[in-house]
Amino acid sequence: APAQSLTGRRVAITAGPTREALDPVRFLSNHSSGKMGFALAAAAQRAGADVTLIAGPVSLATPPGVKRVDVIDARQMKEAAERAADLCDLFIGAAAVADFRPVEVAQQKIKKRGGSDTDSLALVKNPDIVAGIAGRRERRPFTVGFAAETEKVEEHARDKLKRKKLDLIIANDVSVPGGGFNSDRNAVTVIGADGATHLPSTLKSELADQLIEIIAARAFAR
């Protein structure tokens, strides 16, 4: 059984993708299944925490004892995350938030334009959820992000750690087959200001227990 390293702590975790609507029948999204974030929520609950899981559109069961808030797009996820962050000691951003959304959401199904074989879509940046929470001056929880990378994994992750003012970042090489998006297994490197710890490939449930122990020790060590 995991140590009760988060007893009395309130934890908020984002998981899954976001969906950014183009029109009533189409959206932009990604391949996140929510498995990593849900595994972290279950592990935090096992470690004794009071857990709020903010979930994008996924088809996973809520881990026992976890409070779940369902959202669809990035702006809804930000609103739910900010509300949960007001009350939590630890925030973990495991969601694959869409970086951009269509500038306009068409009220009716978009019709093909005649004549041209190409088209383009105007996009606008979504707010950065984890950076907003890590950048707080008041009510700032210990804030952990992920970095999903396909090259120069540690370098890009360290850059995000600094730029988003995170306490820790979990570097996830999503180009490795059998890991990352939608897999049952994953391998990551936890990076902080004072060093890195590699966690080799294992089931996401097992990896989540290891991650929660590392994060709890860094966040709440007496």
- In whole angstroms, how close is the CB of 45 to ligand PMT at the nearest point? 17
- In whole angstroms, how close is the CB of 134 to ligand PMT at the nearest point? 9
Q: Using CB under 6 A, which of 40, 148, 187, 211 touches ligand PMT?
A: 148
CA dist 221 and 194 (Å) reads: 15
Residue burial 160-195, b: 16+ Cβ < 10 Å; e: rest: bbeebebbbbbbbbbeeeebbbebebbbbbbbbeee
Residue 147 vs residues 13, 157, 215: alpha-carbon distances, Å: 15, 5, 16
**Residue 181 near ligand PMT by CB under 6 A:** yes
Q: Which is nearer to ligand PMT, 48 or 68 (CB)?
A: 68
Do the strands 20-23 and 26-28 form a parallel or antiparallel pair, or are they unpaired?
antiparallel
DSSP for residue 72: -
The tokens of 55 are what?
């979930």
Active site residue 30: yes
CA dist 71 and 220 (Å) reads: 29
**Residue 13 near ligand PMT by CB under 6 A:** no
**Residue 85 near ligand PMT by CB under 6 A:** no
Which range binds ligand PMT by CB under 6 A, 41-49, 107-115, 173-181, 206-214?
173-181
**Residue 147 near ligand PMT by CB under 6 A:** yes
**Residue 141 near ligand PMT by CB under 6 A:** no
Report whether 219 contacts 167 (CB < 8 A).
yes
Binding residues: 99, 109, 127-130, 146, 160, 164
**Residues designated catalytic:** 30
Q: Which residues bind ligand PMT (CB under 6 A)?
A: 14, 16, 32-36, 74, 93-97, 99, 126, 128-130, 145-148, 160, 172, 174, 180-182
